[in-house]
Amino acid sequence: GFLTGGFAGIVQGVPNGFTYAVACSVQPMILGTAFSFCRTTIVRESTLRNGDLNPNDLIKASAIAGGVSAALVGLVTRGRSHVIPGGIAFSMFAAGGQYFYNGWTAPRPLDDTAKKGFWKRMTENKWSPVKLLNDEEHANLLREKLLNVEVEIALIDDKIAALKAQE
């Protein structure tokens, strides 16, 4: 926040850039502290009254905390005209953030048709040059290769014997 505020102060040509940078770093700290306090209080009180909260309750708690904290910080730092827009905007930001967090941390159901890995999908395609072999197919492939090598060795031995016979 301090570096961003300092850069913004320089770009805007503010006479006292240090003060502007400090203000730009203190304001998010106050907003985050107020949000955290409000949300923790709402969640704790709701949990004491109703037991465990579902994800929708957490979204509501975050939206309320975002709106209240932004309205209060906007009133103190920016003035009366910033209370309603700040409250609405941060209420939506907090609710959206909680919604995405809930989706990200939700337990995934374990189903039998779990996603296959990349290489598993690639080997199942008919056009793929790569094929997944079971143990028996792999053993047969190795036997064929060993037989080819033994045939080549026998041919080379025959050529060596023919060269020795010519000498």
CA distances from 2 to 5, 21, 90 (A): 5, 5, 21
Question: Comparing C-alpha atoms, which of 37, 55, 52 is closest to residue 104?
Answer: 55
Q: How far is CA 30 from the centre of its chain?
A: 27
127 and 99 housed in the same domain: no
Of 79, 107, 135, the domain-final residue: 107
Kindly report, residue by residue over 74-116, the tens digit of the pLDDT.
888 888 888 999 899 999 999 999 999 998 888 877 664 557 7
Q: Do residues 123 and 94 both lie within one domain?
A: no
Q: Which of 3-17, 121-135, 149-163 has the highest mean pLDDT?
A: 149-163
**Segments forming the whole domain that contains residue 147:** 110-166
Please tell me whether residues 102 and 124 are part of one structural domain.
Answer: no
Query: Are residue 72 and residue 139 in the same domain, yes or no?
Result: no
Give tens-digit pLDDT for 41-84. Answer: 999 988 888 888 888 999 999 999 999 999 998 888 888 888 99
pLDDT tens by residue, 151-165: 999 999 999 999 999
What is the mean predicted confidence (pLDDT) over 26-45?
Answer: 89
> Binning pLDDT at 50, 70 and 90, where does residue 139 land?
very high
Whether pTM > 0.75 for this model: the answer is no
Q: Among 57, 89, 107, identify where a domain stops.
A: 107
- Same-domain pairing of 51 and 123: no
Do 64 and 16 fall into the same domain?
yes
